[in-house]
Each structure stands twice: as structure tokens, then as C-alpha cells.
A and B are shown apart, each in its own frame.
Chain A
Amino acid sequence: MNGAGVGVVVELKGITKYFGALLANAAVDLTLRSGEIHALLGENGAGKSTLVKILYGLLAPDSGEIVIGGVPVTLESPRAARAHGIGMVFQHFSLFDEMSVIENIAIPLDGAIANNALRRKVSEKAAQFGLEIELDRPVHTLSAGERQRIEILRALIQEPKVIILDEPTSVLTPSESESLFVTLDKLKAEGASILFISHKLEEVRRLCDRATVLRGGRVVGATDPRRATAKELATLMVGEGIADLNPGAGGEPGAPMLVLDGLSVAPETVHGITLDGIDLVVRSGEIVAVAGVAGNGQSELYNAISGEGGRITGGTISIADRAMNRASINDRRKAGAAFVPEARLGQATLPQSPLSDNIVLSWHATETIGSPFINRERLETVAQGIVRDFDVRIPRSDPVAAHLSGGNLQKYIVGREVKRMPGLIVIDQPSWGVDARAARHIRQTLMDLAAQGTAVLVITQDLDEALSLADSIVVMRKGRLSAARPTRTVTRGEIGLMMTGGARATEGAS
């Protein structure tokens, strides 16, 4: 032993990892003790995922040492990591949709089949840690929370000493998160060591005993999250304080810009969601947020509003008082709408085209870009204007879209649409995968836009974002939309209930 102290299960010493010239981890030290929940905090790109991939044997460090139980080890594969008692629950589930729960648990166990012995063992674990689930249900019939239970059971069945959870609550409703926390507390009481990766500061403060904060691949702090404030943690993560949002003047909303009246849309794919009788009004000068757990029809709603996909089977959609049921996305743009889709690369932009070229995508139908010959000088001037006005950090002049970080590209995309001065902007997941500073910038931009009289519809999975940004909030669940509630009067608990269907989420649906 290296005198590391009592109960140390795993020690990472001086872990360094390069990707080409990019330094992903710089001499990172991390100690995990038994019976603790240890938070690994950091922004996107801070090096959290790289570090846990190294610990789980998916990546090899360029230098540094992994010590398990006092012995230096080499983890050349996840199998080796599991043999050393390290289990992992991924953010994106690795499950076979068409197979049953028990079959999915059996697959990664070497040589195991879904026999009675395994069933008994799984049932025992499930009962012990509050992870009840029907073992014979096919996975595609399960909710995200239930799928995560499979992943956790899969890890637990191998009796791990360390369990890594990568952003486990990002796909869960508030109540599902609560029951996950109960499970984690039980595991901790049993002496397991849990590495909890998150950027949600509130839950880290509630749950975790210790926190290690990464920034730019380096450890910038190790604190007791229960004693630090969320603001202090955020400051550690991003390097300096982030200002609060300035709400706009708060004038009365004006005329309706977007009206969905009983809109029903057939799913685009077999496992897609059917939109069923959606009613929604977004007025000039107001921000409406669509909250909800991912995969409840939000993408379908965005596509139906933008005209990018989906077949309308009932009801109407109108933009600026014009019927738009059969209109193309460009007809909708001509009516004053602007759209920011969920996927930044490959949908909102051409990844390998320069920023100036990417203006054409959403501008060609409504703005002057040159005809018959595209005016490249004008595009470059516009691109420079967006970069300047929206604080887009670029590595060099007019780079291709793929060379921008997520946050900077999103600022650019939002800026591109804002420059068109739209009467309505629909934005799907504005700050997904975006660092805190850029997220704040984007939210402030949307608030300013609303203050100038634009109707803003934000579709988001981030409840904090919905609450901090919107004037009113609606909840999407299983392809239905709740009635709008003013953000000032609604509580998180109420929204949580609406997300899970605990209350009568859809009024009028008996």
C-alpha cells in the first residue's frame, strides 16, 4: 500500500491522455473509497468521459498508473476492468431492444445463459436495491428509467467494488431520479464505491460525499459538495463566475405567431411517437418552453412545426395567421419563422463547409444571397458579423463548422437565425451539450429576442433551462401536450408529476 488511507479501492495516479495534439487528461489523480459516492464534475470536453473510459479499460492512458486494492494494474479491456471489480452504467444504453430484460443481463456475462440461477440472483439484487423490473419484458416496451435499471443490474450482478455512472439522470424524470438516488444510497451503505458523473450541481450536492472537478483535462478542485454552494461549484467548473440572466422588459405578449390546433402527426418510423391533438399558442414577445423527458415526441413536434418531417393526420398548424399544414420549411421561413434544430452538425450545418457557406442553408429562401451567382463576399461579411455579435470563438478566419466547439457552433447557428429578425423562432434543445457560459449566452439572446417582440418556442429536456427562461411552460408526454402554465406559479414538483403522468397531465384527456 502506498499509504493512501483507509478504504481506498481504486487510485488513479497521474493519468495523462492525448488525442493527437489535444490533451484530454493532464496528470489526473483520483481516489475512490468504499462506501462513498464520488462526483466527477466538469463541463463538456473537460475530460470526464476520457477518464472513466480509461478506468473502464476502453482507452489506454499515455502515462499514469491505475492502482486497485494497492496493486498497479493494466486494464486492456472492459472485461479486464470488470474482472478487477469495476462496473459501468453508460449514458447511452447498450441494450438489445428486441430481447428480454434477463437476456440483456446475461449477454455480457461470460458464458452465462438466462437460466433459473441467474434469474434468482438478479431478482435478489433487484429486491435488495429497489430495482424491481419484470425479467421477461422485451426492452423496447420499457421506459428510459427501467432501461437504466437493467444497466445497473447488469453491473451489480458482477459484484463490482466500483460502479461508474455516466450522467445517469440525463434521461430520467425527477421521480425516476429520486428512486435512482435511493438505490445509490443503498449501494453506498453496502460499501460500494460509486463514481457519479454529472453536470447537474443540485443533485451532486444532495447525493455525493466528495467531488473532483475537472477543467480542460486537469483537476482544478476537490471539495465536499455538501458544503459548497452550487455557485461555487459552477465557478470551479467554468473558471469564473457566470452572470445571471437579465429578463426582458416583460411587456404583455402580442398577437399569436404560432398556433397548433388539435395537431396530430403520424410517426415517421416504427418506434416513433404519434402526436395526438396538440394545442399550443405562442405569441409575439413571449417565451414558451416545452419540457418533458426525452423521447416523448419532442423531435416529432419540432419536425411538424418546421416542416422537416412527419405527416399531419389531423388539426392545423398556422404561422403568423397563415395555414401551414402543407407548407415547406421555406414557406414557413417566408412567413417569418426561424428554426434551430437539435443536431448542430449535419442538420443545422454542413460539417465540412465554412461558416460563411453555411449561411445559405437557412437564408436562401428569404434573404439576398446573390442570384444567379452566390455572392461569397456578402456571405463572408454576414458570417463575420455573426461571429462578432454573438461572441463566437473561432480557431481561425471562416473555419468549417466541424472545427467549432459545440457551444460556439450553437451560438453561431442561433446568431444566423436571429440575424434574419424572425417573428417566430423555434429552437430544439438550445443548450444540449453546450458549456455553461455559451448556454447562458444563448438563453440571454432568446430573452432579448422576445423582448423585441419575437415569439420564442424552446423545446428542452433541461427543466432548469425551461424554468429560468420561459414565461410559460407546457409538458410533453407520450405525444401529448399539457395545457400551458405560467412559469411564475408552477413548481418543479408539479412539472415532475406532469412529466410522469402522475397528475392529469393532459387536461381534457379522460
Chain B
Amino acid sequence: MRLVLVSRRRISRQRQFATPVVALLVALAIGGLIVWLMGRSPWRALQVFVIEPLTDPWALQEVLLKATPLMLISIGLLFCFRASRWNIGAEGQFLLGGICGGGIAILTHGMSGFWIMPLMMIAGMLGGLAYAAIPAVLRTRFGISEILTSLMLVYVADLLLDYLVRGPWRDPKGFNFPQSVSFSDAAVLHPLFEGGRLHLGLVLALVVAAIAFVLFRRTLFGYAVAASGDAPRAANFAGFNEARITVLVFLISGALAGLAGVVEVAGQVQQLRPGFGQGLGFTAIIVAFLGRLTPVGATLSSVVIAVLLIGAESAQVSLKLPYDLTRFFMGLLLTCVLVGESLDRYSLEIQRERT
């Protein structure tokens, strides 16, 4: 007896929508089993991980705050991944965005003016864009794998941030802690409504998602990106310039990761300090695939992953579950989604040994 994958002749549309949901349920079931084996109540874990973050108003705001950079970065990554250009270094572009935007905040410290925030955003986008241009140009000019270069540049960005906040940008009154001054009022994203925590970042992210949706659905540029990812020879036949697409998707992806960096430092952290990235640039890769590389999917899966991240924080406290369990769970979820995607295209059949 052996198992074989048989190609389905038709891929049903209902299936494509149902698959991520089923994958999520399967992942929850397996996760529950693990929690049960660890001697905790799976129902309690479900409550803490999933239900509370979605029902408690304070926690829900935290979820959306966490989802904001994930949306911005993952939607940028869609452009790369749709084109089969593998930008693994969004974390680095995210950090560079924060560094450049935060740099403006530090340089304008004590000043006020409506122009400071837009300037920070522009600087952050340019920073992420320039940083993403490096692997793009290395690939198009010298044929160097963008996977390696973009990944390695993450560590460079990490160390650059470390150097800045311990060196030139360290807060003189900060008791030698490795962190910058707290940003002035004009360099901070304020809550949209009284007593809340949500800021302009979420609005920006949703606008970006909407623009990406239209670009992919309706424009020649979106078509060219997808074509060059699906079938490079067909893109060549259509006359879409491969190098130009590589550079463009990296620039878009870098600029959006950079914008996310500004939103994170100006909204959440309100100063520069090491590790403000929290690995969100890497998490966004999972988000992009979980959302099946579509803008709507990425927006929704940003929220799903943010729920898990917030849930994990409270699970640490209330259930004494290790934080690593969340990372495990995200891996599990991604695996379930990828398996589900394969089963959309292939059916699993048991073949009897011949007699």
C-alpha cells in the first residue's frame, strides 16, 4: 500500500476559500493537544490565546496595533513574492525605516510643526527603499541570490541600530541605557480618539492594502509582477523587463517595510531602542503566505497572527506557557496552510499494491 498525490483536474473556488479556515482549525486542534500534553487545559488556552484578545476591547486595540506593521510589511512582501523574488530581509528594511524616521525625530527634538511627521515617514520609506535596493541591484547586476543578501543585511541593520543607540544617538539623560531620547510631541503618532490607543498607522495600512488590491487586480503593473513570478519566459515574451520588475518590487517592499518602521517607532515605542523590531519583519513572511499572497488575505492574516502574539503574552502570565510555544504555533499554522494548499491541487489516494 502506498499513498500517492493525484493532480486534481479542477480546482474549486469554494475549496480555495475554505482551506485557510480548515487549516486554522486543524492547527488549533493540534496546538490544543500539545497544551493538553503539557498538563494545561486546552479550553483555557483557547480562551487566553484566541477569545480574550478578540473580545476584550483593550486587548483588541493591542491586536490591531500589533497587526499594523505586519500589514504594511506583508503587503510590501506580496509584490516580491508574487514575482518570485525572495526578499527575506524585510526585518532589516523595517529597522532601517525606523532608524531613518527616528533619526528625523531625534534631529528635530524639541521642535514642533506639522511637517515633522510626514518628513519622518518619507525618510523612513526612503531608508527602507534604499536598503532593499542593495539586494535587488546585486541580483540584477551580478546575479547574486537575493535570498542571502537580503537576509544578511538584516544583521547589518540590527548592528547599526545597536551602534546608534549606544553611541551618537544615546539619550544623554538616559542613565547610560542604550536608547535614544523620547520623541517630542510632533514626532509621535497620537491616538485617533480619546482614551484609545489606535493611531494613524492602521489607517495607512488599510489604505496601502486597498491600493495593492487595485494594483494586482486591475493594472498592467500588477499583471506584469504576477506574470514574471508565474512564468518568467512568458513575461519575457510579453516584453516585461525582468530586471526592472526585480528592482521595482524590492523598492516597493522596502519602502513599505520602512514605513512600518516609522509607524512602529513613532506610534508604539516613541524612541529608538535595540530590538524594537521584535522580528516582525520575519513574522510578516508567514503572514504573506498565510494570506495566500493576496492583499485581502494578508490583511486578515495580519490580525490572526497579531491575536496569537498578544495571546502568547498573556498566556505567559496566566498559564505559565512558554513564549516559544507561540513561535511553534505559528510554524504549525503555516505548515497546515501549505499542506492545505497542496491538497487543493492534489487529492491524496491510497494505491493498493498490485497482486
* Chain A residues within CB distance 8 Å of chain B: 19-22, 60, 74, 76, 306-309, 328-330, 333, 339, 341, 343, 345-353, 357, 360-362, 364-365, 369, 371-374, 376, 403
Closest partner residue, chain B, to A309 (CB atom): B236
Which residues of the partner chain B approach A22 to less than 8 Å between Cβ atoms? 9
Which residues of the partner chain A approach B234 to less than 8 Å between Cβ atoms? 346-350, 361
Which residues of the partner chain B approach A349 to less than 8 Å between Cβ atoms? 231, 234
CA distance A374 to B234 in the complex (A): 19
Interface 0/1 of B1-43, CB less than 8 Å to A: 0000011111000000000000000000000000000000000
CA distance A308 to B233 in the complex (A): 9
* Beta-carbon contact of B237 and A329 below 8 Å: yes
CA distance A328 to B223 in the complex (A): 19
Closest partner residue, chain B, to A330 (CB atom): B239
* Beta-carbon contact of B237 and A20 below 8 Å: no
Known: A348-B237, A352-B230. A360 touches B223 (CB 8 A): yes
CA distance A364 to B227 in the complex (A): 13
8 Å CB contact of A347 from B7, B214, B237: B237
Q: Let me know if B238 is at the binding interface, CB within 8 A.
A: yes
Which residues of the partner chain A approach B9 to less than 8 Å between Cβ atoms? 20-22, 403
* Beta-carbon contact of A347 and B231 below 8 Å: yes
CB distance from B237 to the nearest CB of A (A): 5
CB distance from B71 to the nearest CB of A (A): 24
Q: Let me know if B317 is at the binding interface, CB within 8 A.
A: no
* Beta-carbon contact of B220 and A374 below 8 Å: yes
* Beta-carbon contact of A374 and B238 below 8 Å: no
Besides the known contacts A20-B8, A365-B239, 4 further A-B residue pairs in the complex with CB atoms under 8 A apart: A21-B9, A60-B354, A307-B239, A369-B220
CB distance from A410 to the nearest CB of B (A): 15
The 7 closest A-B pairs by CB, nearest first: A330-B239, A361-B238, A373-B218, A347-B233, A346-B231, A329-B239, A20-B6
Which residues of the partner chain A approach B219 to less than 8 Å between Cβ atoms? 372-374
Closest partner residue, chain B, to A19 (CB atom): B6
CB distance from B131 to the nearest CB of A (A): 29
* Beta-carbon contact of A353 and B230 below 8 Å: yes
Which residues of the partner chain A approach B6 to less than 8 Å between Cβ atoms? 19-20
CA distance A341 to B227 in the complex (A): 16
* Beta-carbon contact of A364 and B233 below 8 Å: no
* Beta-carbon contact of B230 and A350 below 8 Å: yes
Q: Which residues from 315 to 354 on chain B have a C-beta closer than 8 Å to any C-beta of chain A?
A: 347, 354
Most chain B C-beta atoms within 10 Å of own C-beta, residue among A328, A346, A350: A350
CA distance A74 to B355 in the complex (A): 8
CA distance A352 to B227 in the complex (A): 10
Closest partner residue, chain A, to B218 (CB atom): A373
Closest partner residue, chain A, to B6 (CB atom): A20
* Beta-carbon contact of B223 and A351 below 8 Å: no
CA distance A321 to B227 in the complex (A): 32
Which residues of the partner chain B approach A307 to less than 8 Å between Cβ atoms? 239
CB distance from A429 to the nearest CB of B (A): 15
CA distance A308 to B237 in the complex (A): 6
Which residues of the partner chain A approach B10 to less than 8 Å between Cβ atoms? 403
CB distance from A364 to the nearest CB of B (A): 6
Identify 5 residue pairs between A and B in the complex whose beta-carbon atoms are under 8 Å apart, listed by A's number: A20-B347, A60-B354, A361-B234, A371-B220, A374-B220
* Beta-carbon contact of A364 and B220 below 8 Å: yes
CA distance A349 to B236 in the complex (A): 11
Interface 0/1 of B205-220, CB less than 8 Å to A: 0000000001000111
Which residues of the partner chain B approach A341 to less than 8 Å between Cβ atoms? 237
Q: Which residues from 166 to 214 on chain B have a C-beta closer than 8 Å to any C-beta of chain A?
A: 214
* Beta-carbon contact of A20 and B220 below 8 Å: no
Which residues of the partner chain A approach B354 to less than 8 Å between Cβ atoms? 60, 74, 76
* Beta-carbon contact of A339 and B237 below 8 Å: yes
CB distance from B326 to the nearest CB of A (A): 34
Most chain A C-beta atoms within 10 Å of own C-beta, residue among B6, B8, B9, B234: B234
Interface 0/1 of B268-285, CB less than 8 Å to A: 000000000000000000
Closest partner residue, chain B, to A61 (CB atom): B354
CB distance from A168 to the nearest CB of B (A): 29
CA distance A228 to B218 in the complex (A): 57
* Beta-carbon contact of A360 and B237 below 8 Å: no
Which residues of the partner chain B approach A328 to less than 8 Å between Cβ atoms? 239
8 Å CB contact of B238 from A343, A360, A371, A403: A360
CB distance from A277 to the nearest CB of B (A): 26
Q: Which residues from 220 to 260 on chain B have a C-beta closer than 8 Å to any C-beta of chain A?
A: 220, 223, 226-227, 230-231, 233-234, 236-239
Which residues of the partner chain B approach A351 to less than 8 Å between Cβ atoms? 230-231
* Beta-carbon contact of B220 and A360 below 8 Å: yes
